[in-house]
Amino acid sequence: GDSVTQMEGPVTLSEEAFLTINCTYTATGYPSLFWYVQYPGEGLQLLLKATKADDKGSNKGFEATYRKETTSFHLEKGSVQVSDSAVYFCALRGRGDYKLSFGAGTTVTVRA
Amino acid sequence: NAGVTQTPKFQVLKTGQSMTLQCAQDMNHEYMSWYRQDPGMGLRLIHYSVGAGITDQGEVPNGYNVSRSTTEDFPLRLLSAAPSQTSVYFCASSGEGVAKNIQYFGAGTRLSVL
């Protein structure tokens, strides 16, 4: 079945540091890929998405590129802020499906 | 816009008690789902529905029941709570077509079973 593996945390960074969170997936066909973010005490919200190979999703300074050849969708941000402290989830949705499969989540803490 | 509304936000149960977690959305979404979130395990799908009157099991359905009598509401029932059901529960919904790509989540219900 479909599955997502993402880098374990927690990750602690200083403000303005570079952030990368690795995500790889296993799926049949051509899934859509997502990064969701969960701020403390809140539900998940979509951060960015990519629906086909070589697509780059971007939002709020975060980027991720759908790499079919390496089955990866790594999340990056060049200069993090304290407000980026959150739990980040990589997820996939199979073609034609509604259901999401999530990775375990990576907790990121950014210190001033 | 209210989006996806979950109630209650917090609940403490004793083993063997029953309860219903409520979920309502006002976006006329066909697809709704319930997840549980446990440390180190991400979100796991409990049950889902692709429309009123249609429900199906997800990855971890045991101990939970659902029904979908209206498009708006998708309650999750715990018939006999167990400590293993201590978790944070999230309800989500999404629309059709390209709108499938965005699932909207509620704020969650934190449940403790003693």
Is residue B100's pLDDT more than 70? no
pLDDT at A62: 98
The token pair at B16 is 């063997």
List, for residues A31-71, the tens digit of each pLDDT value: 999 999 999 888 899 999 999 999 999 999 999 999 999 99
Residue B85 DSSP class: G
Q: Is the pLDDT of residue A96 over 80?
A: no
- On average, the pLDDT of chain B sits at 93
Residues of B in contact with A93 (CB under 8 A): 100-101
In total, chain A counts a number of residues equal to 112
**A39 and B CB contact within 8 Å:** no
Taking only the tens place, the pLDDT of each residue in B41-73 is 889 999 999 999 999 999 999 999 999 999 999
Asked whether the bond before B61 is cis by omega within 30 degrees of 0, the reply is no
Q: Does the pLDDT value for residue B1 go beyond 90?
A: no
Interface test mutation site (partner A, options B101, B102, B109, B110, max chain A beta carbons within 10 A): B101
Distance CA A96, CA B2 (A): 28
